[in-house]
Chains A and B, each alone.
With several copies, the nearest count.
Chain A
């Protein structure tokens, strides 16, 4: 569990964001991620209360598919910016096991370096991380039954 996680997609986001030194442009980058996220990945029928993540200013749905103990997330929000953020989270941390998800911490979110963006904190990327971890644990437990 303490082995270094291989977070390819995450590293790509971090790298891209590091290249942008203008905050406004970093903000636009998130919007771009949101715009590019294929809505088709998130089936309309999944937009139900059971998949809602609570505590956000706009609705956020997150689902996961488990394959060989690894979690593959997708997320959706009506708000583009929130969709951008949730997409960064779900793409970054897909493919991990429940234990690996648990090993993630606040620093992983902080390294995305969106701290200066109000919206980032508003929608609570930390809350999203906690939500992914909860989903990771939930299915692990279910599997142990």
Chain B
């Protein structure tokens, strides 16, 4: 079972004192972190694209397939019941983790991309008319841009874009300037996957609700760094993706308020989401099952439940504190590199650093880093409009996970210095 490192000394962050953990013990939970790349120890700074998995998650997947695998919601036999229990138990774990009122608020999807597309295709198609406005921000991931563009194509809705400031910060007054009587939805990221900027979702939601607009949050980069309390935020939808929260690939989540989910037509048609089918007429299940057509990602959902339990045992506050401390150390060390420039310096950002080095192409920097065993991401990070706005072609991004330590940072810094040396 879960072999978590013991919590160590208390640790201050933003006023509240929380327990930090011993990162090196935690690292031992992740088998991949002990591997080498090109003969050098792996330094993984690409958790923002997808995080590595702790042993408890990998074991949970194996156990499911080896000892109780079956389809769910269908069989009258023992394994089917076991698998159904485990699958629905995962939904309960996830609901509690998000502080959702009930597991009925939790739709299991295949990714946050699907979660957002689901809302666009059901709620959006049903409730948005020509001329209605959807507000997004300039720092959205393509997953929170393209579905609304497709709906614009179909329905003639209008997409309004909240600008970000030069330092990558997001200001509520810029958001308020976009609101109008036609605003029906605010679809916004909680944390920028490029800049690390946090959006003040709670305040934003209060303002949007005052104007009668619904709020959908793309929590892909939010929940992994700070957890979420959907009732405190009061958002209507909150989507996220399992593989970035140390869970398996192939599973995502959509939280929706009960009345909103109930108002929505089904997304896809198939088994499991219906009550009765005749060729003349079909009646659909209640949420969340109405939105889960066909065999769901069974073992992936169960594995995500294990991942959630893992981060809960460490504590989301402790994870945030740990990441914050590593981020601060990194910012300090990186600042010493001549020609180094951080892109996105909003105050209180999440543990994501995008950067450039004067005179060097980001691709070259990332390639040299890679040869040193340091995995980063380079390019536009599925956020091309943000690149256009910042007037750059791309960045190197080091995104932190709960397992990154100061030695990782040192390797990153040394790698950048080496890149400067090799490339100049």
Contact = CB atoms under 8 A, between A and B. Distances in A.
B78 interface: yes
Interface centre among B367, B378, B394 (most CB of A within 10 A): B367
Interface of B: 38, 76-78, 81, 85, 275, 361, 363-364, 367, 370-371, 378-379, 393-394, 422-423
B76 A23 contact: no
Nearest to B275: A54
7 contacts: A23-B38, A24-B38, A57-B378, A78-B361, A78-B363, A81-B367, A121-B85
Contact of B76 (A27, A57, A78, A80): A57
A79 B85 CA distance: 23
- What 8 A-B pairs come out closest when comparing CB atoms? A79-B361, A79-B363, A58-B363, A119-B367, A118-B81, A79-B364, A78-B361, A118-B78
A6 B75 CA distance: 37
Given A28-B422, A118-B76, A118-B78, A81 B370 contact: no
Contacts of A80: 361, 364, 423
B379 A119 contact: no
A78 B371 CA distance: 20
B363 A57 contact: yes
A122 interface: yes
A36 to B, nearest CB: 13
A63 interface: no
A82 B363 contact: yes
Given A54-B275, A80-B361, A122-B81, A27 B371 contact: yes
A119 B370 CA distance: 9
Given A54-B275, A82-B363, 18 more contacts: A24-B371, A31-B422, A57-B378, A57-B379, A58-B361, A58-B363, A59-B393, A78-B363, A78-B393, A79-B361, A79-B363, A80-B361, A81-B363, A118-B76, A118-B78, A121-B81, A121-B85, A122-B81
B303 to A, nearest CB: 23
Nearest to B80: A118
Interface in A6-29: 23-24, 27-28
A128 to B, nearest CB: 15
Contacts of A118: 76-78, 81, 367, 370
Contacts of A122: 76, 81
A58 B378 CA distance: 10
Contacts of A27: 371
Contacts of B379: 57
Contacts of B423: 31, 80
A31 B371 CA distance: 13
Contacts of B76: 57, 118-119, 122
